[in-house]
Structure 1
């Protein structure tokens, strides 16, 4: 498995509404700073609750892992940063360009140790 595979699986599980799949990627001690919730989630139960709401709201994402930046932290740990687009049917199919950072530890079965996601500021142009 590669860190790119982890992000691809994450996106596939998210878009399929697979709660068990997506939460299985998060380590039991992981943290999540979510895009649409103004608080730090620091337990599997909190992270699961966030994804239940996203799945029930039929949210989807578009991510191009090929455009991410990979930084090697150690032999099995990677910091992956990039962008994705959230589509929220509950907001009239509005799309929200967002940034992500994943700290991925490939030495464990649940490799996401930390995930931070935030909306790109409205006046920021990603083309530069």
Structure 2
């Protein structure tokens, strides 16, 4: 049986392997993504594909979870929220940069494509 963290691990593995099809296979057909690196809200499979293909074209793209920040919250039956912080890394104009981002997912583990909503935003600088 799949647990919420399994979905996150599958998602990160797909990002790290440049596997756009693997990423898309995790998102419900009606899923909404509030992405880290775009001001658009991909809410169709084609828009999700466009976003992940563009992101995947970044040289050296990788992502890693800050394990201690992971929080899983059961909501009802097979519905969960998953939140925490992960670190994006990719090349920008010849320099490898890190982008910490906070994330939240709404998952329905009863579905083969469990991601219903995914929000990811860069961690803001403190005042």
TM-based fold match above 0.5? yes
Is 1:119 aligned to residue 118 of structure 2?
Answer: no
* Equivalent residue, structure 1, for 2:80: 78
* Equivalent residue, structure 2, for 1:11: 12
Q: How far apart in 2 are the matches of 1:123 and 1:83?
A: 16
1:66 CA displacement: 5.3
Aligned ranges 1:1-128 → 2 under 5 Å:
1-58=2-59, 59-65=61-67, 67-91=69-93, 92-123=95-126
Q: How far apart in 2 are the matches of 1:5 and 1:65?
A: 13
More helix by share: 1
Conservation of the 8 A alpha-carbon contact between 1:78 and 1:104 = yes
1:41 CA displacement: 1.2
CA RMSD of aligned residues (A): 1.3
> Please, which moves more after superposition, 6-15 or 65-74?
65-74
Q: TM-score, normalised by structure 2?
A: 0.92
1:65 CA displacement: 4.6
Q: TM-score, normalised by structure 1?
A: 0.91
Runs (4+) of structure 1 exceeding 2 A deviation are: 64-67
Aligned residues: 124
More strand by share: 2
* Structure 1: runs of 5+ lacking an equivalent: none
